Structure 1
Amino acid sequence: MANAPLDQPPKRLRLATYNVEWFNGLFDDEDKLLADDERSARYKISRAEQLASIGIVFTAMDADGVMIIEAPDTGTHRSTTRALENFARHFGLRSRRALHGFVSETEQEIAFLYDPDRLSASHRPMGPAPGEGVAGDVPRFDGVFSQTLNSDLPPEQIRFSKPPLEVALTDRLSGQHLRLIGVHAKSKAPHGARTPAAVTRIAIENRRKQLAQCLWLRARVQTHLLQGDALVVMGDFNDGPGLDEYEKLFGKSGIEIVIGPDSAPEMQMLDPHAKMVLGRKIGVAPTSSRFYDLSRKRYFEALLDFILVSPNLAPAAPVWRIWHPMDDPDCWRIPELREALLAASDHFPVTLDLHFSGANGAGPNRAGNVP
């Protein structure tokens, strides 16, 4: 990237993705914070303690925009945006305006909490709406995707229980346009299995559905890349290279499908943490989540949360960071932040810093449908 004029220093834009475990359980039916001594979904942590911890983490990140995974529910009486804006107001966050897309079938939504003084954002889904379009179209994420997952079977109809959130974004400071896609892919955990055979069957079926969702995402990514859009895909993929033995049955992990490592360089998404583990047989690997295994009485970690960027954002000098309290020295050195990261969720935030300069930013000023 060419050096910016002295009177126009690079303008850092910080985006984050953060899966906040059962954030919904911290609000009442009027979307007010439940900052009390009742137990949260976190082990031996009260709702007040979890809320305070989440507030500390959000304050420390100081992100211009956060893609929140497992955001509070939207329903008959509840509102994702109202709950998040109440949360932001309570903790005095500058990222204080919430954006929500298609409603989830679960109590876990995908939402974008952002600083309206810095960013302009709108929900801009692509693809034909359910019941519209023609064969071969990549449907909107609240629709149905027909995909052949087994050559011996007819195409399967795939749905997202948590439809991805598509955001058209403008950085008011640099004028840069971006497209964001917030993702919470299907879990592969064999919930409800009672026998070893059921565990295997459900795990394989869930992986098939997760991979199908990632094929759908990849199709949307390709559309953006062909248009030259500046694209960021971020969230919890519930998957990563080499995470389970069933990956051998399908050839690739879901995150690899979305990245497109076999495509031409200009059609590949970038994430240094994913690159570290792609093709790795043994050695160090980054992690973004920490789970307790009751049967083994131990904590286990995995890389599940990613921020993928399009190649045309490379001139913006992207910097990734996983806010892991035991792996990140700056997080470890601040006891309050370290403890908050452990108490707030079973996932840790991932941030991306982009550096834009000049009136039109550092890279192609494209984002498909601009707000």
Structure 2
Amino acid sequence: MRLATYNIEWFDALFDHAGELVRDGGWSARHGITRERQIEALGIVFTALEADAVMIIEAPDSNSRRDTGRALKQFAEAFDLRAREVLTGFVNDTQQEIALLYDPAVLKVRHAPEESPEAPRFDRVFQIDLDVDATRDNVSFSKPPLEVEAVTASGAVLRLIGAHLKSKAPHGARNRDQAMRLSIANRRKQLAQAIWLRRRVEGLLAAGESVIVMGDLNDGPGLDEYEHLFGRSSVEIVLGDGGPPLYDPHAAQALAAKFVAQPTTARFYLKPEERYMQALLDYIMVSEDLALRRPSWRIWHPFDDPHCWRTPELREALLDASDHFPVTLDIDL
């Protein structure tokens, strides 16, 4: 079985209100790339992935006029994808949903949100003292994680959690001091969300579930200047801090040493510096029972993955489709 996670930059901008793909020469929300070019690139990437299920981060929007499921089904039909059914969870108001595109012949899935005294449901409020002032703060997700119960054709049950944790930029700051205070507050909130997610994971592990956390955690070792203030990243919190661990080899490699080459899953252009920055943001973390099945992880990086590099059509499509690259997990279930 192949599972994938893929953050698609402004996927929503490629559809009209009826969920139809807008295949024209107009500019997409990706700089310098037309809608037709991005759509064709995504078709090439999804066809090459040939995944049984894809956790799509920044999926098309759902609101009073638009529908995530309708848009993704029409995308799958346009490119004759096996993964053609759609599962969504709690709708958010960011125009960036989390959705699972899957093959119904391989998986039966349902949205399975749960809660406990330690971890409320992801569309609710989590109370935690963020700044050690003996006062609990209310934390909520702008993009509630998608919690999935998936059953394979052989009867294996998986608990998938699709997540998009993101520390907001310091919008509204009028000077450097304000920007620093806002950045630290936003980073603190992201870490609280990671603690909330980790508590949910621990509840599932305690119940004997096979767990996979997949998505964009937008955080990791050495990613920003405020990491030293908190001592650990969202990635380390979700992987486990003394409790039952989750495992992702790319995260393990990044955490092992600062001064060695690290895997990357995203590539952004820094306009002021006129260069690209690469980062490890996307993960597929698995519980110990699944890690023992010797699964295989792969980052579909256009320059670092030999097959992607040697296949010009796929290499260019990966660069046109998004500023993130897919991550896949192949596992025998």
Q: TM-score, normalised by structure 1?
A: 0.88
Partner of 1:355: 332
Confirm or deny that 1:318 pairs with 2:280: no
1:59 match: secondary structure? helix
Rounded Cα–Cα distance in structure 1 between residues aligned with 2:234 and 2:168: 11
Q: CA deviation at 1:189?
A: 3.1
Confirm or deny that 1:306 pairs with 2:294: no
Partner of 2:317: 340
Taking the TM superposition and a 5 Å limit, the aligned residue runs for 1:115-194 are 115-127=103-115, 136-172=117-153, 174-194=154-174
Q: Choose which of 226, 230, 235 in structure 2 pairs with 1:255.
A: 235
Give aligned-pair identity as a percent: 56
2:56 match: secondary structure? strand
Q: Is the 8 A contact 1:232 1:309 kept in 2?
A: yes
Q: Is the 8 A contact 1:325 1:341 kept in 2?
A: yes
Amino acid in the other structure paired with 1:61: L
Q: Choose which of 271, 275, 284 in structure 1 pairs with 2:261.
A: 284
Q: CA deviation at 1:315?
A: 3.0
Rounded Cα–Cα distance in structure 2 between residues aligned with 1:137 and 1:257: 15
Confirm or deny that 1:16 pairs with 2:4: yes
Rounded Cα–Cα distance in structure 1 between residues aligned with 2:304 and 2:15: 31
Partner of 2:208: 228
1:33-62: CA deviations, max 9, x gaps? Answer: 011111001111000100110111000000
Q: Is the 8 A contact 1:188 1:238 kept in 2?
A: no
1:316 match: secondary structure? coil
Confirm or deny that 1:69 pairs with 2:49: no
Rounded Cα–Cα distance in structure 2 between residues aligned with 1:298 and 1:245: 19
Taking the TM superposition and a 5 Å limit, the aligned residue runs for 1:57-96 are 57-96=45-84
Q: CA deviation at 1:279?
A: 4.3
Rounded Cα–Cα distance in structure 2 between residues aligned with 1:193 and 1:99: 38
Rounded Cα–Cα distance in structure 2 between residues aligned with 1:326 and 1:45: 20
Q: TM-score, normalised by structure 2?
A: 0.98
Q: CA deviation at 1:176?
A: 1.2
Confirm or deny that 1:114 pairs with 2:95: no
Give the number of equivalent residue pairs.
333
2:101 match: secondary structure? strand
Q: Choose which of 16, 36, 41 in structure 1 pairs with 2:24.
A: 36
Q: CA deviation at 1:317?
A: 1.6
Q: CA deviation at 1:197?
A: 2.0
Rounded Cα–Cα distance in structure 1 between residues aligned with 2:70 and 2:134: 44
Rounded Cα–Cα distance in structure 1 between residues aligned with 2:167 and 2:9: 14
Q: Which runs of 4+ in 1 moved over 4 A?
A: none
Q: Which runs of 5+ in 2 are unaligned?
A: none
Q: Is the 8 A contact 2:59 2:68 kept in 1?
A: yes
Counterparts in 2 of 1:194 and 1:296: CA distance versus 1, 3 Å: farther
1:45 match: secondary structure? coil
